[in-house]
Amino acid sequence: MPFTPFHMGPGLLIKAVMQGAFSLMVFGWAQIVMDIQPLVVILSGEGHLHGFTHTWIGASLLGVASALSGKYLSELGLRLIGCRRFVPIRWPVALVSAFIGTFSHVLLDGIMHADVEPFWPLTRANGLLGLMSVQAMHWFCLGSGVAGALLAVFVGTRRPGAHRC
């Protein structure tokens, strides 16, 4: 299903570990961008559900697009909610966050969806399918999200002068 919140779990853990070297907002935007094509297929009833966007090549192109658009959208969002201390998002941070977002999306969807062809055009085979059970993957995503949230709170309370938005 497009726009699944499970993809955000690993992002929360990565944010807690990488802190200012990672933008959770750009990462989240990349998740949405990745699932625009499947959403169009669901709404129109035409096309390959997890098509080109869910290949490593597609993820690379969408990573660039997500970084370029996500940097500015995230900065605007941060300003609107009053978190000006996080603006600007540096380009390396936007790029790393977007690429982690798009590549992790292909990895997670490849594990659970038979129609994902991550290695296209080399092969249509999905070598990721079934690397773990869907239930185990969901628990991994949920667990990493909880661990990331707890770590973020712990780190935030240990840093002098830490401010919350």
For 113-156, what is each residue's pLDDT tens digit? 999 999 999 999 999 999 999 999 999 999 999 999 999 998 87
Note the pLDDT tens digit of each residue in 52-88: 999 999 999 999 999 999 999 999 999 999 887 777 9
pTM, entire model: 0.91
Whether 92 has a pLDDT exceeding 80, the answer reads yes
Q: Tell me if 165 is assigned to some domain.
A: no
Whether 165 has a pLDDT exceeding 70, the answer reads no
Whether 158 has a pLDDT exceeding 80, the answer reads no
Note the pLDDT tens digit of each residue in 103-115: 999 999 999 999 9
What is the C-alpha radius of gyration for the chain, rounded to an integer number of angstroms? 17
Which residue range is the domain that position 150 belongs to?
Answer: 5-156
Contact 41, 48 (CB under 8 A): yes
| Average pLDDT over all residues of the chain | 92
From CA 58, how far away is CA 35, in angstroms rounded?
A: 12
Q: Tell me if 163 is assigned to some domain.
A: no
Domain count, the chain: 1
- Tally of CA atoms within 13 A in the half-sphere of 56 that contains its CB: 10
Q: Tell me if 161 is assigned to some domain.
A: no
**Structure token digits, residue 12:** 């929360």
Q: Tell me if 164 is assigned to some domain.
A: no
From CA 96, how far away is CA 104, in angstroms rounded?
A: 12
Q: Tell me if 55 is assigned to some domain.
A: yes
The pLDDT of residue 3 is: 67
> To the nearest 5 percent, what fractions of the chain are helix, strand and coil?
70, 0, 30
Q: Tell me if 162 is assigned to some domain.
A: no
